[in-house]
Structure 1
Amino acid sequence: MAAAVPIIDFSGFYSSDPATRQAVVDQIREQCTINGFFQISGHGVPASLQSNVLHWSKRFFALPDAAKQTCSKDNNTWNRGYEMLRSQILEAGTQPELKEGFYIGADLSTDHPYFVQKKLNSGPNQWPEQGFEGGELEGFKTGTMDYYHATVSLAGDVLRALALSLSLESTFFDAFLDGAVATMRLLHYPVQPPDSDAKLTRGIGAHTDFGAITLLLQDDVDGLQVWDKNTSTWIDVEPVPGAYVVNLGNLMQRWTNEKYVSNLHRVINRSGRERYSVPLFISGNPDYVVECMPSCKEPGEPSKFPPTTVQAAVSSGYAESYGRVQRYKQGLEQTVAAAA
């Protein structure tokens, strides 16, 4: 277990000692070529921000359904707000997933160029209009956004380490991060029914992430599993207090000519307890063109993928996973109609 998804002390990356810093980079490189997953401690995000965002996540999901629906993500087209249970299917052939979520991102005004030009997941945040009492709503906003900004900053440091691991300048990803879209989800996994079909029922189905990297904060309830290609088994990623699970997305795999791995992972909550987690997805500047990194192919070697923009690559992933739910529901309706 520990050998498959190790914990890397990221504080060494901030060291003034080149050997200590390089040791962190080397550990990251090794994991990116194996499973594309690792955990980091010593990252500098205060534990108080982590506990606070989990507190507000639990408080939000405890609201009545009617209150949560006042900020439904169906109210907008830029992926902000509440997502009800069974809204997504990430693994083809499974049932809609046993999770509910709340999408948050950079709070952009409606006159911001990204919003006007309908860029990827860009616009104002949406907050519940009911349910919170007194100053709770402001506490919810502040608690989630303070955490969001701290984790986006950490993601920049992780990408600098990744650049060095690929024999690039540490500043390689700076243009990609300039104006980057980063989306955070508060996630709640209800207790999975003990009699549910394990082959069909998922908290989140087996999938790979769409963007560059993901930083995941888990509570103390397990359920996350990563596919290990060497043993052809699912590996449990046990929660480590304060640590982040870091994984690479499809964009990074494409960018590195498949030198680095965007790996399958899923959540099955058999714990008998409710699970909460907070992933942050780094998509990047929507207009940034991703093409094979210079260090990821030999001279004259062709790239495995044509150049693409962040907007095009990430949008297609969202469209596919949410489209599966619509097709699933249409299939149910046709079955019911045929039986009537």
Structure 2
Amino acid sequence: MTTSAAPPILDFSPFYGNDSEAKAKLVEEVRKCCHYNGFFQITGHRVPLELQRRVMQCSKRFFNLPLEEKLQINKNHNNFNRGYELLRSQMLEAGTGPELKEGLYIGEEIPEDHPYFLQKKLNSGPNQWPQTVSDKEEFQKTTMEYYHAVFELAKDVLGVVALTLGVESSFFEPLTEGAVATMRYLHYPAQPKDEDEKLNRGIGAHTDFGCVTLLLQDEIDGLQVLDAPSGQWLDVKPTPGAYVINLGDLFMRMANDKYKSNTHRVINKSGKERYSIPFFFSGNPDYLCECLPNCREPGESAKYPPITVQDMVTSAYKDSYGRAEKYKKELQAKNVDVGPAVTAVGA
């Protein structure tokens, strides 16, 4: 890894092939990235570009709906994190304002008689689909086709990460079997170029909560990754077809801090609307996260006690949404108009 370099773009195709030398090179490149800042980008995966384009169009069709129609599936009307999220609902970076983004939360279809729903597992419930979006059947079909394709890619990424730890690529199957993952359609409105960056972040500086995130960007930039050694913010330029991959806090905890969950943010200074689709792979909610193989030096203890995926991610959700709610209440006490109220919800 070179200092102050944006996350490299790696060809992921050797993972699927028989060229052992190319595969070993990919594994080594991923290992270096995991140690450095936990970020890399991949091409050569199995998610078709045509599907990526179709799903991005679905996102744009949804956000073009009038606000009152989007609010019909407000995610604050349920406790399982599915549906529409208003602008300025979340606040990941203390000291900023709530974030200038709106979203649609989507996951696996979990019916109300499913054990995950009955046991109130992480983000588990039926999707809240917009009823007024154009060609709504195609909207739902494309959304779920894409969700399942990226779910499989996330398992492949964890397979490569397992190889970097010197274990079989199947090592994380207990984590990925019955896993919970949350996809978001995100829309960042255009901001005036003289807006205060500190207060008006698309997403404030943060690390992700779960195991691994796969991000699909549109053509508008705005994502920045912190280069910790230099303190510089590095722009991650959109590359057609590529995924930006980063490890989350849960994985860093399992790796005993050897692999990094790095700080990143979004500031939309383009003067244009920006869309992105992050896919947050948390894992099986009951999976007990413990120190991974080869992540401790001889005689070194695990830095963290075991914790389930459910407990780790739920706690992080409550912190970020609770922070936004507190901020708004403080402004309301000062008679400052902050727009529609939000409610912090459990994951």
Task: Please state which band the TM-score falls in when normalised by the shorter chain.
Answer: over 0.9
Q: Which residue of 1 aligns with 2:296?
A: 297
Mapping of residues 146-295 of structure 1, within 5 Å: 146-295=145-294
Question: C-alpha deviations, 1:160-182, integer Å up to 9, x for none?
Answer: 00000011121110000010000
Contact kept, 8 Å, 1:210 with 1:314, in 2: the verdict is yes
Show the counterpart of 2:97.
95
One-letter amino acid of the structure 2 residue matched with residue 265 of structure 1: H
CA distance in 2, matches of 1:77, 1:5: 35
Of residues 165-174 and 152-161 in structure 1, the stretch that sits farther from structure 2 once superposed is: 165-174
Runs of 4+ in 1 over 4 A off after TM superposition: none
Alpha carbons 1:292, 1:303 under 8 Å: kept: yes
Whichever residue aligns with residue 319 of structure 2, its letter is E
Task: State TM-score, norm by structure 1.
Answer: 0.96
The answer to whether structure 1 residue 309 and structure 2 residue 308 are counterparts is yes
Say if 1:13 and 1:22, in contact at 8 Å, map to a contact too: no
Deviation at 1:39, TM superposition (A): 0.4
The residue number in structure 1 matching 2:28 is 26
**Separation in 1, partners of 2:335, 2:56:** 40
CA RMSD, aligned part only? 1.2
Q: Take 2:149 and 2:22, find their aligned partners in 1: how far apart are those partners?
A: 24
Q: Which residue of 1 aligns with 2:344?
A: none
Q: Which amino acid aligns with 1:128?
A: P
Do the aligned residues in 2 keep the contact of 1:223 with 1:267 (CA within 8 Å)? Answer: yes
Alignment-derived partner of residue 343 in structure 2: none
- Counterpart in the other structure of 1:36: 38
* Alignment pair present for 1:71 and 2:66: no
Secondary structure of the corresponding residue to residue 294 of structure 1: coil
Q: Please list the CA deviations of residues 8-59 of structure 1 after superposition, one character each: whole Å capped at 9, or x if unmatched.
A: 0000111212111111101000111111110000001011110000001000
Distance 1:257 1:149 in 2: 30
Specify the code of the residue in structure 2 equivalent to 1:33.
H
**Is contact 2:189–2:274 with CA below 8 Å preserved after alignment?**
yes
- Contact 1:190/1:273 (8 A) holds in 2: yes
Distance 1:149 1:259 in 2: 30
CA distance in 1 between counterparts of 2:99 and 2:133 reads 27
Report the CA distance between 1:2 and its aligned residue.
Answer: 9.0
**3-state DSSP of counterpart to 1:296:** coil
**5+ residue gaps, structure 1:** none
Contact persistence 2:6–2:225 (CA under 8 A): no
1:10 pairs with 9, 12, 31, which one? 12
How many pairs align?
Answer: 334
Percent identity over paired residues: 59
Q: d(CA) in 2 for partners of 1:333 and 1:146?
A: 42
Kindly provide the CA deviation profile for residues 279-324 of structure 1, in whole angstroms up to 9, marking residues without a partner as x.
0000000010001012101343211111000000000110000001
Q: Is the 8 A contact 2:210 2:250 kept in 1?
A: yes
1:132 Cα deviation after fit: 2.5
What letter matches 1:78 in structure 2? F
Distance in 1, Cα, partners of 2:326 & 2:146: 36
